[in-house]
Every structure is written in C-alpha cells, then in structure tokens.
Amino acid sequence: MAYNLLFLLSCIAFVSSSSHAYVYPPLVEGLSFTFYKATCPDLESIVRSYLEQLFQSDISVASGLLRLHFHDCFVQGCDGSILLDGSFSGPDEKDATPNLTLRPAAFKAINELQTLITQACGPVVSCADITALAARDSVRL
C-alpha cells in the first residue's frame, strides 16, 4: 500500500519542482503522505541527501533511477521485484529482455540507499518505496 503512495508522490514531483508548500490532491482511503513519519522520520532527507551527493559525480544516474522505477511498476504494480536476485518461481526480472539495459549504477544506488535507511530506521521501509522516492527526487533534483 505504501508503494502506491510513493508512486503518487513521484507523479506529483513531475508537476511540482519547487520546495514551496504544495496542496496535495485527495488521497484514496488507506494512503498517507506521512506513512513513515513515526517509523523513519528522516527518510526523505536521507534519500535526498544521498542523491544530491551522487548526482554531483554522475548526474546520469537520475534517469537510470526513474527508468528502474518505471520498469518495476510497469506490469503488476510497484513491488520492488525488479531488485530481486533470483526466485523460486523462475529467472530474475533483471534478466528479462526489456530490463537488460537498466543501469547497474541505478541498482547500486538503491542498494546503498537501502543500507543507509536500514541503518537509520531499521528494516521498516520497503524497497519499492525507496525506489519510488529515489525516482521522485531524481526528477526533482
């Protein structure tokens, strides 16, 4: 459910590029813009700070993160499955033909973000949500 929220947030980033207060559209019941406020209050600043630093050395990762998020969400919703290495049900999604050109640097950035976030908050933030936040902030930055 939280990944639906973050997908919505990434869409909002396309519309709003300023840091001024934004009036958000009404949400579907069960979604919240403050889902991680209690469990990981620094989540958004962790993601933004990491990406700001990363983009100073390689701005092209921004498009890679947006594309990674798109490929994760494309077929059956945003579930983080694009990040999995192997499964019992078949080959990795990474090995599917449409995903072969996804940037390794984008996967690396998500892994590094997950490590930073887990160190700060514990294992409470889903990989799908991290991917959505990274895509949103990539567009914004």
Could you list the residues known to form a binding site, using ranges.
Answer: 72, 75, 77, 79, 81, 93
Active site residue 69: no
Please say whether the beta carbons of 102 and 74 come within 8 A. Answer: no
Binding residues for Ca(2+), as ranges, are: 72, 75, 77, 79, 81, 93
Q: Active-site residue among 9, 40, 71, 109?
A: 71
- CA dist., res. 56 & res. 135, Å (int): 16
The phi and psi torsions of 11 (rounded to 5 degrees) equal -65, -40
Burial class (CB in 10 A: 0-12, 13-18, 19+), 65: buried
- CA dist., res. 92 & res. 84, Å (int): 7
Which residues participate in catalysis according to the annotation? Answer: 71
